[in-house]
Chains A and B, each alone.
Chain A
């Protein structure tokens, strides 16, 4: 039973990973790509790691999967925030279809 639940969780995570990386290709802008890829891939990898924990039980691999999940949840959004801030400061052009840029208005 736990094997079926674990494989289902891994499948959901792979779906999130796939659509996140697809957004990395299809979106027009650095910030849009960051938005799509970071959120979807973080959630998908968390689903894969939880699926590993459920599939194998709380053994040597399961506990390590939970530790990796904690690191992923903390580190990936932080890195994305730093990259978006740095690329805005470095003067990367926004896409033409962008409606509002609150951060540039705040900085002035």
Chain B
């Protein structure tokens, strides 16, 4: 197995642990935390893909995923606190 294949396998194990917590988590904040962490792991995945293939499209996907995941986590946290989005 190549070096990058091993790296992909480790990150896939991380992704499946996050998916376990999303499906299993007893409360709603557990699932929100797991979605947030899944986004950060995917940014690392995009960095590894662009290292492997040499294309910078994957890194652009990673940057936009980081920003949009942040906005989504903030919106979910606001919703959990029982407020609307403009207060």
Contact = CB atoms under 8 A, between A and B. Distances in A.
Contacts of A78: 70, 74
Interface in B37-60: 37, 40-41, 43-44, 47-48, 50-51, 54, 56, 59-60
Which residue of B18, B50, B60, B77 has the most chain A CB atoms within 10 A of its CB atom? B77
A87 to B, nearest CB: 4
A76 B74 CA distance: 10
Contacts, number: 156
Contacts of B3: 7
16 contacts: A7-B3, A13-B44, A17-B41, A24-B21, A24-B33, A37-B34, A42-B40, A44-B44, A45-B40, A45-B43, A61-B54, A65-B50, A79-B73, A83-B32, A83-B80, A87-B28
Interface of A: 6-7, 10-11, 13-14, 17-18, 20-22, 24-25, 30, 33-34, 37-38, 41-42, 44-45, 48-49, 51-52, 55-56, 60-61, 64-65, 67-68, 71-72, 75-76, 78-80, 82-83, 85-87, 89-90, 92
